[in-house]
Chain A
Amino acid sequence: MGLTAAWRGIVALSVGLAIAGVLDAEGLRKQAEIQPQGVQRRVAIGVTRPLVDVSRTLHLTTPRHELQVAIGREGEDRIDTEVHLTVPPPTRRLPPPPPRQARPVFTPERPLRVWTAGDSLAAVPGQALQRLGGAIDVVGVESRLSTGLARPVLYNWFSRIQTAPGELRPRVVVFSFGADDAHDYMAGVPAGKSVGPLGSASWSAEYRRRVDGVTRELNAKGIHVVWLGLPIPAGRGFAHSFPVVNRVLRAVVRAHPMTSTYVDTWSLLANSRGRYTAYLRLHGKLTLVRLPDGVHYTAAAGDLIARQLLRQLAVLYDVRS
């Protein structure tokens, strides 16, 4: 007796997805790597590893590679966890900052070049800076979902930081990282070292090494680095994890007071009692500043952050729009 239509459908679907799995093995392997730490990730890596071996042996990874090359997305499946930092940390205490000099002037004719980059939280403040226009020239808003400094596997920002200054020639870089870093796991940890759970001394030290490294890397090229802190979130889980990241960002900025800035979005978006609120009174009107997920910003919040950032940068630069 033959199979019924339903069971033939199940067979076609199962075999079809298996074929798709072999053809897309390297993409699935990467998807597995970028999952949050836990059983699901371990199982996914365990399943995709032999899938990649089979696919490579049969040369079935080639069509995907060729198609990626054709659409300009070559190397998307590469798993790069290396933390590329070229400027070594100082071996002794930094000298005191030089006396403050006259602030450089920026005008619409000679604008301040700003590059905004980071995870999904980077997009809205970057777009708000773009809207300011005038003496602010946003040379790029690079927002990559779910990326960060803790797990370079999805996107390696350390590599990007090596190439972006030459391409975009920014004077100021605004970074928004950390929402996807606040987990108990880090990739690219130096050999022989291990990192404990989020908030442990080893986690904070390694995260600080990365944030500090990125800051020094860009400072060495004459670029001022702005770190946007993580905003006060609606969820309880994030309310515990975000401050861990913010403490690290703040500590790094304290170590580079003349060449980096910390923008405290936590306080900026909290209500008068220091608690989470989706609405803030702006220009006399209650205005929605957070999206329903309780983390991401609305455009109004982006404008608020951009204005605060400019206020803080006014100490260093004379921006005349």
Chain B
Amino acid sequence: MLFPTATFALFFLVVLPLSWLTMPWPHRWRPFIILASYVFYSWWDWRFVLLLAGCTLWNQLLAVRIWRSTVQAQKRALLVLALAGDLGLLGYFKYYDFFVSSGDNLASYVGMDLPLSLKSIVLPVGISFFTFMAISYVVDAYRGDFQPTTLEKFAVYLSFFPHLVAGPIVRPAELIPQIETPRDPRRVDTSRAFYLIATGLFKKVVIANYLASSIVDQVFATPGQHSSLEILIAIYAYAVQIYADFSGYTDIAIGIALLLGFVFPQNFDSPYAAVSLQDFWRRWHMTLSRWLRDYLYIPLGGNRKGRIATYRNLMLTMLLGGLWHGAAWTFVIWGGIHGVGLCVERALGWRPASRRAQWFGRILTFQIVCFAWIFFRADSLARAGQILERLFTAWGQSSPLVTTSVLLAIAVGIGGQYVRPSVVTAVVRGFGRMPTLAQASCIGVGVALIETLGPVGVPPFIYFRF
């Protein structure tokens, strides 16, 4: 069930009032919201629900044992067991065929034959997101940072439908306390929620889909048929497409959660206005960045064990972060480019202070990020190589795909990141002061406009396959 569809609109129009009606009685609300979330998830494939339920039981059982255990060695063993289960689940469904095929190709290169067979496993939607949230829960219990809650509350935390399939990756300490106390229907920031949903829909349905169908898909599929200018604009267009697609999705998710009375953490903060790669990772997929920092980079030693160890930790974090996005070497290289960039910035001590240096940093960072996107979007390393080669060897040819509307969509996507927060706040406040019927009219006209400008049918979100 995709957010920008009539099916989801109907689902939400039923769930939202029922959620508020049952909210004063948590023993009714929690089973209701678990059921609603499982219905939402089963829309893709009912078998995925069993996987989600299994993951919930496994992590709850071990988190409680870890918390209760007083023997450090036992706590550690239980943590290893929990992580082995979570990473095993992720590894089996997401990476098994990738590692077997990569191992087989390496073995055949040296004249060996691997006795492993491929399994052609279907990837369950959102598995990367809910396993990471489950890992947060058990690790926080191990560290003593968060006391495990009841099975029912943990099931709500893990399956809550606004974040279930593509994040944001919410921490136990951020969401579970909100689940424990009934939300106050007088304190719901509906204006902000509607603003987020409307901008999210516009970004996904209009900007991302338009750029994908007008230039990105064609150029990345057949780079040899396109001019250097088309290649260059397609790379920038993809940068805007992936931002509009993913931030659009999380804006809708955060808005939907807000209407239900829950506050999710921010996931994007104008990433293409970043003045360095370090700054970029503070603004892009922020909940994944801090997850990688807190559960991978810092446990590896972070920057506390000397310069070389810091570089190693940065590289490992970014390479694994790349692999998290997909089981392909192109994603590993994407992570590697960011890792090298972060190491170089650290080595140079790059922290632009002056206005001019900041603008230089912004432009340079955007170019590096776009260069890395080539590997992220290309379906193979060979195709990425063709795109790079074509970028320099086909200037002066005709470029029919570079149209005014494509350039306008790119400009809107990038320019939107420079809109001051005060402008957004003013818009949200202005909307909040309107009478309810005027708000409804704005929502109606806005949705109708987005629906008309968007394509027939909604292609899935890019991050659904991660």
Contact = CB atoms under 8 A, between A and B. Distances in A.
B441 A16 contact: yes
Interface string B225-266: 100000000000000000000000000000000010100000
Interface string B72-114: 0000000000000000000000000100110011001000000
A288 B102 CA distance: 11
B444 A278 contact: no
The range of chain A's interface size is 35 or more
B457 A145 contact: yes
Contacts of A285: 105, 108
Given A146-B457, A286-B105, A292-B465, A17 B118 contact: no
Most buried by A among B187, B190, B380, B437: B190
Interface string A47-69: 00000000000000001100110
A3 B20 CA distance: 13
Contacts of A145: 457, 459
A298 B221 CA distance: 10
Interface stretch (B30-38, B280-288, B296-304, B446-454): B446-454
Interface residues of B, number: 58
B187 A277 contact: no
B456 interface: yes
Interface in B1-36: 6-7, 9, 13, 16-17, 20
A15 B437 contact: yes
A299 interface: yes
A64 B439 contact: no
Contact of B190 (A5, A14, A146): A5
A41 B328 CA distance: 39
Given A133-B224, A133-B225, A71 B453 contact: yes
A5 B192 CA distance: 12
A13 B13 contact: yes
Ranked 9 nearest A-B pairs via Cβ: A19-B444, A16-B443, A9-B190, A15-B440, A6-B185, A20-B447, A23-B448, A127-B221, A4-B185
A290 B120 CA distance: 9
Contact of A131 (B13, B122, B224, B448): B224
A212 B224 CA distance: 35
Interface stretch (A24-32, A79-87, A189-197, A310-318): A24-32
Contacts of A276: 120
A19 B440 contact: yes
- Which secondary structure dominates chain B's binding surface? helix
A278 B118 contact: yes
Contacts of A20: 443-448, 451
Contact of A299 (B9, B101, B379): B379
B118 A286 contact: yes
A283 B394 CA distance: 29
Contacts of A27: 451-452, 456
A105 interface: no
A23 B194 CA distance: 19
Nearest to B94: A292
B465 A9 contact: no
Interface string B421-451: 0000000000000001101111111111101
Contact of B261 (A6, A8, A16, A23): A6
B3 to A, nearest CB: 13
Interface of A: 3-20, 22-24, 27-28, 30-31, 40, 44, 63-64, 67-68, 71, 76, 123-124, 127, 130-131, 133, 145-146, 154, 234, 276-279, 284-288, 290, 292-294, 298-300
Contacts of A24: 447-448, 451-452
9 contacts: A5-B185, A9-B188, A17-B447, A40-B7, A44-B6, A127-B221, A286-B104, A294-B120, A299-B383
Contact of B6 (A4, A9, A15, A31): A31
A68 to B, nearest CB: 7
B181 interface: no
Contacts of A63: 448
Given A9-B259, A12-B194, A286-B101, A299 B442 contact: no
Contacts of B381: none
Interface in B175-226: 183, 185-190, 193-194, 217-218, 221-222, 224-225
B444 A15 contact: yes
B123 interface: yes
Contact of B440 (A16, A28, A300): A16
A6 B190 contact: yes
A24 B451 CA distance: 8
Nearest to A44: B6
A23 B13 contact: no
Nearest to A22: B444
A67 B439 contact: no
B13 A17 contact: yes
A12 B432 CA distance: 11
Contacts of A9: 188, 190, 193-194, 259
Nearest to A63: B448
A13 B16 contact: yes
Given A20-B448, A27-B456, A123-B217, 6 more contacts: A6-B188, A20-B451, A22-B444, A279-B101, A279-B118, A294-B122
A59 B120 CA distance: 53
Contacts of A124: 221
A5 B189 CA distance: 7
A72 B379 CA distance: 32
A277 B118 contact: yes
A103 to B, nearest CB: 26
B22 to A, nearest CB: 13
Interface in B269-302: none
Contacts of B20: 6-7, 10
Contacts of B7: 40
Contact of B120 (A18, A127, A234): A234
Contacts of A292: 122-123, 465
B188 A279 contact: no
Nearest to A292: B123
A299 B380 contact: yes
A157 to B, nearest CB: 15
A33 to B, nearest CB: 11
A20 B194 CA distance: 14
A133 B224 CA distance: 9
A131 B220 CA distance: 11
Nearest to A131: B222
Contacts of B457: 145-146
Contacts of A18: 444
Nearest to B20: A6
A23 B439 CA distance: 16
A23 B445 contact: yes
Most buried by A among B118, B185, B217, B222: B222
A201 to B, nearest CB: 32
B190 A299 contact: no
B447 to A, nearest CB: 4
